[in-house]
Amino acid sequence: MALQLVAVLAIIVVDNEIRVAHGLAVIIVGEDPASQVYVRNKKKDCDEVGFNSEVIALPENTEEKELLALIDTLNKREDIHGILVQLPLPKHINEDAVINTISPEKDVDAFHPENVGHIMIGDYTFLPCTPAGIMEMLKFYNISVAGKKCVVIGRSNIVGKPMALMLLEKNATVTIAHSRTKNLKELTKEADVVVVAIGKAKFVTEDMVKEGAVIVDVGINRIDGVLYGDVDFENVEKKASYITPVPGGVGPLTIAMLLLNTVTAFIEQNK
Ligand code: NAD
């Protein structure tokens, strides 16, 4: 659904000229197998909607200053509208330094502190892709969160925290749970909507959710080559009114939102 939306938006008119919103640079450092899969999927989806994407693969031993210099070059290139650095990075590279070097107007992941600040006050150009995809999905299925109890499990900067802010923006009553939360089950059993992003296979079980709850599973856990979410899907499905599968639920929407952010970046940079 969202991918088709992006495909339509990818061709726009600027100064009476029809142009294709191209120019996404994806940088990957090292050999992390999961990251390689994510980057391959991003490239595939970019090709599908006609974006001109560039994957730049750097070796594991790339120095931080080399990576920062590359980002600097991409910041200046007019044919590149969005820059994404696949995380996690090798331990010797400071992720914050990398995120801070990406020009905020090309920061299609919305991780730069300037963009994070905009999200905090509800005035933004980009939204982080995973929570933005989840909000699109809720909208698509006419699931209103206004006045509902929503529990977000996980407080990462890329999923949990922005997810909570976006639900709050839509008038939900939001609780953020994390590894130090006590009596998690008491919170989730009361929740109308549970979003889980912790990276622990089948962590949310049937006894933790209430009948008719909406369950959004962000987790991606690879065990013996098989992908599992953070939810015990087979059993929780029986109680949930809606539930997202892994794979095939939140993941594809994340990439669709990345493409949408690239279109937005293109439009903003061509104003
Ligand atoms: P993270 O790995 O940075 O942090 C994990 C979070 O889970 C922490 O905030 C921690 O407090 C919390 N946590 C850990 N154990 C817990 C417990 N027992 N009870 C409650 N909370 C607990 O988080 P992340 O980067 O948001 O990733 C989480 C998962 O989501 C991973 O599996 C990741 O692969 C997946 N992910 C998927 C997508 C997608 O597009 N589908 C995007 C991003 C992340």
Higher pLDDT, 21 or 203: 203
DSSP 130-147: HHHHHHHHHHHTT---TT
DSSP 160-221: HHHHHHHHHHTT-EEEEE-TT-SSHHHHHHH-SEEEE-S--TT-B-GGGS-TT-EEEE---E
- Per-residue pLDDT tens over the stretch 38-93: 999 999 998 888 888 899 999 999 999 999 999 999 999 999 999 999 999 999 99
**Position in ligand 1 atom list of the atom nearest CA 199:** 32
Q: Is 251 in the pocket of ligand 1 (CB under 6 A)?
A: yes
Question: Across the chain, what does the average pLDDT equal?
Answer: 92
Q: Ligand 1 centre from 219 Cα, in Å? A: 6
**Position in ligand 1 atom list of the atom nearest CA 178:** 21
Q: Is 30 in the pocket of ligand 1 (CB under 6 A)?
A: no
Residue 20 clears pLDDT 70, i.e. is over it:
no
Q: Is 178 in the pocket of ligand 1 (CB under 6 A)?
A: yes
Q: Write down the pLDDT at residue 271.
A: 81
Q: Ligand 1 centre from 225 Cα, in Å? A: 19
Residue 11: pLDDT band (50, 70, 90) is low
pTM for this entry? 0.93
- Per-residue pLDDT tens over the stretch 108-161: 999 999 999 999 999 888 999 999 999 999 999 999 999 999 999 999 999 999
Q: For the ranges 45-54, 102-111, 161-170, 245-254, which has the lowest average pLDDT?
A: 45-54
Q: Is 158 in the pocket of ligand 1 (CB under 6 A)?
A: yes
**Position in ligand 1 atom list of the atom nearest CA 159:** 26
Beta-strand relationship, 17-20 and 53-58: unpaired
Handedness of CA 108, 157, 58, 49 (dihedral sign): negative
* Angle, in degrees to the nearest 10, between helices 160-169 and 129-140: 40
